[in-house]
Amino acid sequence: MIAGHYILYAPEPRNEYETLLVMKLLHRVRQMLRNLVWKIIFLTLLPGLYASAVTTLDLPDMGDPTGNILRPEFERRLGQAFLNQIRRQADIVDDPEVETYIQSIGYRLVAQSDNASQLFTFFVINDTNINAFAAPGGIVGINTGTIINSETESELAGVMAHEIAHVTQRHMARSVQMSQSMSIPMMAAMLGAILLATQSSDAGVAAMSAVQGAVAQTQINFTRSNEEEADRVGMQLLERADFNPRGMPSFFEKLQKNSRYTAQAPEFLRTHPLTINRIADSLARVDASIPFDSFHESNTYKLVRTKLIVRAFAEPKLAIDRYSTALQNGQFTDDAHIFKYGLALAYQENRDFDMAAKLLDELLERDKNNTSYMLARAEVEVERGQFDDAIAIYARMDRLFPDYRPLILNYANTLILAKRPKDAIEVLEDYNKYHTPDIKYYTYLAQAQAESGNIIESSKANAEVYFLTGETHVAIQLLKDLIRRRNPVPDYYQEEKILSRISQLENELKIERNMKLTR
């Protein structure tokens, strides 16, 4: 596994190496193991690359003994390169509401860490398998399946706290230190052994023993030690952040029990070796006097989880049947509104917009300022093509929650669809007041500027999209082409800003090339 984003938490709603052999191996592995491949690659293949690249850069020693192998700046950039690969290969959930929620949970936990200065990036992968992982540079990914299969917000937070702990305890750098003496061919053989271990743990251990004997066993023990430390530190984060610390062992115990009745354990258990002793140790750390149900579960957790459950159905009609039956049979206690929300989303997925609107209106009568209901109601009008009605809902939300990221982005996108790009630009101008510009922001800005006839500003925004997706050389070329434009010609201020940005990006590209993270 890989040793293992957000905005500071607020109450709701509130980033050709070494040999050709390595690159060929990376290519083959990508085809074999989707998301798991990158976890394995960063654990087994890159340690030798880290040491050499960092030596080339000769970055200053900040006093962290693990920094002698994997320095923070290199780790940050390596994590960004990893995230760019994930964006190309995985189906990342492109829903601002889901993104913002998972980020709020993440930074609520990070804020309680002893290493709160570490930057993090959290994202959700559209995959119903249960899995989560962390990578260098504070990259934390979680599958929709993990959210769906959790039963409480504390269980979900427990998984995330475990991954955050892997990052804050620098388990990746320490793994690098343990295996720095391994040669590239030996690491390749070790990789094959670990791939085998995902199918059969006994065969994997035997293969690793054949490859490297005692060194392999040391690596296994070190990984187990990482897992135990991530449990301990993660549970501290849970308690400090006012989640139920039982959430972590509860979820792990549930996974282990369920895996007994299936042919293959969840991917999370295969990449995070779990033992009965670890679960028992985790439970022993929890104060027995704290009742499991004494912690508040946010309504947003239930609504986001419901949204993901509805989307996971193969056919919307199946979701309609499930939620209709649950409502008719009274299969709920105090959560009738959650089931009704799920039914509304299922009707929306089935393009029955009248029924979806009716149910959402009933929910809004009960809770008129609920952001999830308002976002869904506006989306129904967008899908109907009734943009003015959707914009009216967003305008009301803007008065109530002007800094809510899902609102700003959905509002801007709807204004673009309604052929009101200048209004979209005005909405997006407020984004920088509350949020760090990201890919979705620059994508909408580029589109709005282009449709407003502002070719220069549109191209500048596009350049930022390329930079944030790891195509720094393309971003530079796009900006240089702008300087040479004759129709339209950049004005003096635009030209100065473009030249300054080119200089910054060229420096970034130089660093990336020195680190062998790009060509």
| Cα–Cα distance measured from residue 170 to residue 291, given in angstroms and rounded to the nearest whole number | 33
In 3D, which of 311, 358, 305 has the Cα closest to residue 153? 305
In 3D space, the residue among 143, 117, 133, 125 whose CA is nearest the CA of residue 166 turns out to be 133
Q: Residue written as tokens 């010609």?
A: 489
- Please, are residues 289 and 238 in contact by the beta-carbon 8 Å criterion? no
Catalytic residue selected from 75, 95, 97, 163: 163
Tokens 């892997």 — which residue? 166
**Distance (Å, whole) CA 110 – CA 160:** 10
- Quick one: residue 136, left, alpha or beta (phi over 0 = left, psi -120 to 50 = alpha)? beta
Query: Pick from 127, 232, 134, 215: which is nearest to 179 by CA?
Result: 215
73 counts as catalytic: no
Q: How far apart are CA 130 and CA 96, in angstroms?
A: 22
* Cα dihedral 345, 350, 353, 358 sign: negative
Q: What is the DSSP letter of 112?
A: T
Which of 95, 99, 227, 231 is flagged as catalytic? 231
Q: Which residues contact 423 (CB under 8 A, 6 or more apart)?
A: 415
Angstrom distance (rounded) from CA 259 to CA 394: 44
Is 293 assigned a catalytic role? no
Q: Are 168 and 134 in contact (CB under 8 A)?
A: no
Catalytic residues: 163, 231
